[in-house]
Structure 1
C-alpha cells in the first residue's frame, strides 16, 4: 500500500493498460507530482506488447516476455492498480463507472483501451471467429484455438481475415507455429491449409516492394491469398465472400478494422464514425477538457494508422499534458511523425522493414526488431524506482479557497484524541450509500444512529465475539475492505457461528475531503458487501485519521445453547480424533506473495490470484465441513499452517502427520520463498519449528518455509473422519474451493514432545 508523503489533492485516472498509458506511468514514476494520485484501471494485470505478439504466437517468446506486468509497474511507480471492467463515465460527478463495484473519482481521466473487433456488421462473425482485438484477451482464444487444432483429426483449414500488416504477420506466425506443433504431435505439416482474405489489396498502406516481398513469402508458404474479397458472412466451418463464394474454414481469425468500445457511446463524448474518442492535437476531448484519449481509441484531426508505434509515441506527450492539465497550465500539441519504421516478421525469425518508399529484409532485420522490442519491454518490466526519488518541483495545484484550507489542515500537526476523528460531513457522505443487511435483532444501529448500538440476543443462543484489524497491503481500497471483512469473519465460520453483527474501526490518511470521502466510501462499500453476503449487519464503528489506511472489525456470531448449557453446534480447535484426515480449504502463500509484491518481485497474475482467494468467503466451506462430521476446525491466518495446527493438536491430545507435497500452494509462492522472500512475521512463526519432529531433515524441502507463512483471509483447517474425507473434499471443490485437499492425518499422541510429523508424500 503506497503511503503518500503529501496529502492527496487531485486524482489522475488512466482507463486501460495500452501502450500510451504504460509510457505515461513510467514518466510519472520518474517525475512524480506532489499531491497527485495516479490510478490505473484495467481488466487484466498483464498487457501484451503488440509488436511482439506475432513472435509469441510463433513460439519465439514466452508469455511473460511479451506482456507488461501492470500490477508490478504500478507498484514500482507509486500508482494504484485497480483490476476492474469499465462500463462508462459519469462526467458530471467526475467518476469512472465500474462493473460490480463503486465508481472511482477523477479530476482528469485518460482513455487508452485500444479497440474491439468489428464483427457485429458481418452475420455470424461474432459467434464463429477468433478476434485478435482486444489483444489483452487474445491469449485465451489463441490457446483454445491451439487445442482445437491439436484435437482435430484430418486436414484443418484456417482462415485469417485482414490483409493489413497485422493480418499478414499473424497469418505467417500461426502457420509457422502450428506446423511446428503438428510435427511435435506426430502429424504431417501438410495437414494444415491457410487462406488470407483481404477487402483491399495486400498490405495496402505499405510500398509496392514490401507488398511484393510478402506476396512471394505467402505464395512460397502455400497460403492462398484472396485479395479484394471482403468476408460477408461466417458460419460454423465456412465463410462467404462478398461475391457469393463459399470457402471451408475450420477456424477463422479476425484481424480487420476495429471500432471503439461500446461503453464509449454512453459517455456523451464526441466520437468518430467508428466510435473512437475524438481529441484535438493535445490529445484532449473537445467535449470535456477533463477527458483525454490516446492510442488506438483516440481519433485525431489528422488520420493515423492504428499502429503501436503511434500509441507508444503518444505516451510522453500524454503524460506531460495530463500533468499540465492537473496543474492548470497550457497544454502542448502532440506532433505525430509523418513516416515511421515498420518491422514486419514472417514467422520464422525473418523480417521485412518498411518505411515510406524504402523496404529491405533479412534475418538480421528480425534480430534488429528483437533487440528493439526486448529493450522496450525492459523499460517497464525491469523498472525500479530511483533511490531517494521525490516529487519533482512543480507549481502548486490550483485549489479553491475551501480546498486550500483543507490542504493546510491536512499537512498541519494533527490532533490526537477525538481531534483525530474524520469530520462528520465527510463520514456521513461516505457512508450514506451503505445499506447493511436488515436484522430484526438490531434495535439501535446505523439505521437510527446513537451513541452506541443496541442488539438483542435471541433466546436459546449465545454470542461468539472476535476482532481483527490490520493496515492495508493493497492500493485498491474496495478490495482491501472486502478482504478485511472476510478475514474478520473467518473466526466465526471456523467455530460454526452464524454471523450476526459487526462494528468497524478504520483509519484513513488525512487529505482533501473529497479524496478522504472517496477512499472511505470505496473501502466500506467492499466491506459491507462481504458482511451482507454473510448475513452480518454493520451496526456502527469509528473512523479516525492515521498515517496509513487500515480497517478492522469486531464481529459477533450466534450459536445455539442446549438446555444443559452445552454448545452442540460449536466447532473448537480441540476435538481431533486419531484416524481423522486433515483438510485445508485454500492454498497457502499470501504472506510471501505480498512481501514479494512490496519488493517488486511478484508477477501481477500471482498477486491478483492471491487476492481473489482472500475475498473468497469460508462460509460455505464451514457448512460443508460440519455436514461431513468435522471434529475440529480453525482458520489459518497470521500464525501460519504450523502455528494453527499446533493450536489444534495440543488441546486434542493428538499428533498430526503432514504431507508436504500435498500442501496446496498459490501460484508463485514456492518461487518466492525459494528466493528468500518471506513475510516480516515469518521469523516469529519459525520459532514454532520445535513442534516438528525431525525438523532438521525437512529444512531443505522447497515447501518447508510455507509451513510458517502467515495467511490473510486464509482457508479453514479441519479434521474429518476418514470415511467421509473424500466426499468432503469433492464437495468443497464443487463449491469453488478448487484447491481444497487432504494434507495429512491425525494419529494417537506418541511419546515425543513434538506433535507434528512431516512426510514428503503419502
Structure 2
C-alpha cells in the first residue's frame, strides 16, 4: 500500500449504535440549568447554551477513522461532517478545534494533509480554527470540536415535527456503500467520486436557504444512524412517517452495490435497532440497505409545513442543492416509519 495513504475503516460507519448509546447516557450525573436549551434530554445534534436573550452558543464534537485513503480528502470530509451539527441546529459556525489520533510510527506528512483539508473546510465555513488536541493511537482518527451561534428563538431541534409536515432531504443516500465498495474494488471511480463530492459539500449552503424559509419546524443531519435512524429521532415517539421511495434521492451505483450485497456493519446495526419500527411495503433489499446505510457528512433532513414545502424545495434546487420532498409526517400509527 502507498505509505501516503490511509487505511479505510470508518467514517460515520464507526459510530456506536443507537441501541447501545441510550442506556449508557441515562444515568450520567448532570447539573440542571435554565440556560441549557438543548442537552441530554433529547437526541439532538448539538448542545445549545443561552448566553443572553438574543444569543446562544452551539457546542458539538465529531471525529472518526478514515473512510477514504487520501489524507487531504479525509480531512475535508471529517471537518465537513463535524461542522454539519451546527447547521443542523440552524446555527452559524464560530470556531473549531482539531481532534487528532495518529500512529507514532506513521509519516507526519500524512497528518499535515489531513489538517490542511480540515482547515480549508473550516475557512470555507467562515470559522476560526484555533488549535486542538492530538494523541498517538494505533489508528488514525480526525474531527473537530465546533462552536456556533444561534438566536435562542430560532433553534432548529430534531424533535419538533408535527403531523402533516413534509420531509425534505438535501443530499443523496448511499455514501458508505460507495466508499466501502470502492475500497473492495466493486464500485467505480466515478461512483466513488460522487460520494466524495457529496461528503465534502458543507451543509452551510442548504441551511442559508432553510434558515430563512417559512414553516420549518425541525431539522437534523443524516449521519451514522442512516435515514431511518435519524428520522426515528425526529419523530420523537409522537408521530409516524411515510417515505415515498419514488422521490428518495440516492446514488444509483450505491443501489446497485446494495443489490450485490455490498453493505456495512453500521448499516446492519441500524437495521437491527429499527427492525420493529420500520415497515417496507414492497420487497426491495437494495433499497432497504440504502435507508439504513450510515451517512458520513450526509444531508439535512427538514420537516416543513406542507404548504411551504414546494417553495423550499424549489429554492434549494435553484441553489444547486439536490433536495427532494421524500415523504410526510403522520399521526402515530402501529409502525413508526412506512417505506413504500
**When the two structures are superposed, what TM-score results if normalisation uses the length of structure 1?**
0.37
The one-character-per-residue Cα deviations of 1:610-651 (angstroms, maximum 9, x if unpaired) are: 000001110121121232231110000000000000101125
The match for 1:682 among 235, 258, 267 is: 267
Do 2:242 and 2:327's aligned partners in 1 also have CA atoms closer than 8 Å? yes
How far apart in 1 are the matches of 2:271 and 2:173?
16
Aligned: 1:466 with 2:60: yes
The match for 1:521 among 96, 100, 112 is: 112
Aligned: 1:605 with 2:190: yes
Distance 1:38 1:478, change over 3 A: closer
**What does residue range 584-733 of structure 1 map to in structure 2 within 5 Å?**
584-629=169-214, 630-650=216-236, 653-687=238-272, 688-693=274-279, 695=280, 697-700=281-284, 702-733=286-317
Aligned: 1:749 with 2:313: no
Distance 1:620 1:598, change over 3 A: same
Do 1:660 and 1:704's aligned partners in 2 also have CA atoms closer than 8 Å? no
**Structure 2 residue aligned with 1:129:** none
Structure 2 unaligned spans of 5+: 8-50
How far apart in 2 are the matches of 1:641 and 1:495?
17
| Cα displacement (A) at 1:699 | 4.2
Distance 1:459 1:530, change over 3 A: farther
How far apart in 1 are the matches of 2:265 and 2:213?
37
**What does residue range 496-511 of structure 1 map to in structure 2 within 5 Å?**
496-511=90-105
For the residue of structure 2 that corresponds to 1:631, the secondary structure is strand
Do 1:501 and 1:536's aligned partners in 2 also have CA atoms closer than 8 Å? yes
How far apart in 2 are the matches of 1:707 and 1:633?
18
The one-character-per-residue Cα deviations of 1:205-263 (angstroms, maximum 9, x if unpaired) are: xxxxxxxxxxxxxxxxxxxxxxxxxxxxxxxxxxxxxxxxxxxxxxxxxxxxxxxxxxx
How far apart in 1 are the matches of 2:208 and 2:330?
25
| Cα displacement (A) at 1:508 | 2.3
For the residue of structure 2 that corresponds to 1:37, the secondary structure is coil
**Structure 1 residue aligned with 2:320:** 736
Do 1:625 and 1:720's aligned partners in 2 also have CA atoms closer than 8 Å? no
For the residue of structure 2 that corresponds to 1:632, the secondary structure is strand
How far apart in 1 are the matches of 2:307 and 2:317?
18
| Cα displacement (A) at 1:661 | 2.2
How far apart in 2 are the matches of 1:552 and 1:633?
22
Highest RCO, 1 vs 2 (Cα 8 Å, sep ≥ 6): 2
How far apart in 2 are the matches of 1:482 and 1:617?
10
For the residue of structure 2 that corresponds to 1:568, the secondary structure is helix
The one-character-per-residue Cα deviations of 1:726-760 (angstroms, maximum 9, x if unpaired) are: 121111112221x311111112223x2x221222x
**What does residue range 286-301 of structure 1 map to in structure 2 within 5 Å?**
none
**What does residue range 564-583 of structure 1 map to in structure 2 within 5 Å?**
567-583=152-168
How far apart in 1 are the matches of 2:190 and 2:252?
9
How far apart in 2 are the matches of 1:459 and 1:522?
41
The one-character-per-residue Cα deviations of 1:354-412 (angstroms, maximum 9, x if unpaired) are: xxxxxxxxxxxxxxxxxxxxxxxxxxxxxxxxxxxxxxxxxxxxxxxxxxxxxxxxxxx
For the residue of structure 2 that corresponds to 1:668, the secondary structure is helix
| Cα displacement (A) at 1:570 | 0.2
**Structure 1 residue aligned with 2:16:** none
Do 1:632 and 1:719's aligned partners in 2 also have CA atoms closer than 8 Å? yes
How far apart in 2 are the matches of 1:631 and 1:726?
15
For the residue of structure 2 that corresponds to 1:474, the secondary structure is coil
How far apart in 2 are the matches of 1:583 and 1:605?
26
How far apart in 2 are the matches of 1:466 and 1:559?
13
| Cα displacement (A) at 1:459 | 7.7
**What does residue range 215-614 of structure 1 map to in structure 2 within 5 Å?**
460-511=54-105, 515-516=107-108, 518-560=109-151, 567-614=152-199
**When the two structures are superposed, what TM-score results if normalisation uses the length of structure 2?**
0.81
How far apart in 2 are the matches of 1:485 and 1:37?
23
For the residue of structure 1 that corresponds to 2:153, the secondary structure is coil
| Cα displacement (A) at 1:475 | 1.7
Do 1:658 and 1:745's aligned partners in 2 also have CA atoms closer than 8 Å? yes
How far apart in 2 are the matches of 1:554 and 1:664?
30
**Structure 1 residue aligned with 2:34:** none
How far apart in 1 are the matches of 2:161 and 2:54?
27
How far apart in 2 are the matches of 1:685 and 1:699?
18
